[in-house]
Structure 1
Amino acid sequence: MSIALWCLFIAALLHFGSKMPLAVAQGQAPGGYDNNHPRDQWANLPEWGKRALAAHQNQIESFPFFAAGVLVAVTSGITGSIVDYLAIAFVVARIVYIALYINNVATLRSLVWVVGFGCSLALMCSPAWA
Structure 2
Amino acid sequence: MQEISGIIYLILAACLLPYAFAIIAKVVGGFKLKDNQNPREFLAKTTGLAARANAVQQNSFESLPLFIASILMAEYLVVPQFIIMKLGMIYIALRVIYGLCYLANLSTLRSIIWFLSLLCPITLFIIIIKMMTI
Q: Which interval holds the TM-score relative to the shorter structure? A: 0.7 to 0.9
Return closer, same or farther for 1:41/1:81 CA change in 2, 3 Å cut-off.
Answer: same
Question: Does 2:99 match 1:93?
Answer: no
Structure 1: gaps spanning 5 or more residues: none
> Scaled by the length of structure 2, what TM-score is found?
0.85
- Larger helix proportion of the pair: 2
Q: Which gives a bigger RCO, structure 1 or 2 (Cα 8 Å, sep 6+)?
A: 1
Residues 21-100 of structure 1 aligned to structure 2 (within 5 Å): 21-26=24-29, 28=30, 32=32, 34-100=35-101
> Scaled by the length of structure 1, what TM-score is found?
0.88
Of stretches 9-18 and 84-93 in structure 1, the one that deviates more from structure 2 is 9-18
The number of residue pairs the alignment matches comes to 127
Look up the match of 1:3: 6
Query: Quick check: 2:17–2:60 contact (8 Å CA) kept in 1?
Result: yes
| Equivalent-residue separation in structure 2 for 1:52 and 1:78 (angstroms) | 34
Query: Quick check: 1:25–1:46 contact (8 Å CA) kept in 2?
Result: no
Q: CA deviation at 1:45?
A: 1.4
Return closer, same or farther for 1:78/1:65 CA change in 2, 3 Å cut-off.
Answer: same
| Equivalent-residue separation in structure 1 for 2:24 and 2:126 (angstroms) | 34
Q: CA deviation at 1:2?
A: 4.5
| Equivalent-residue separation in structure 1 for 2:85 and 2:79 (angstroms) | 10
Structure 2: gaps spanning 5 or more residues: none
**Identical pairs, percent:** 28
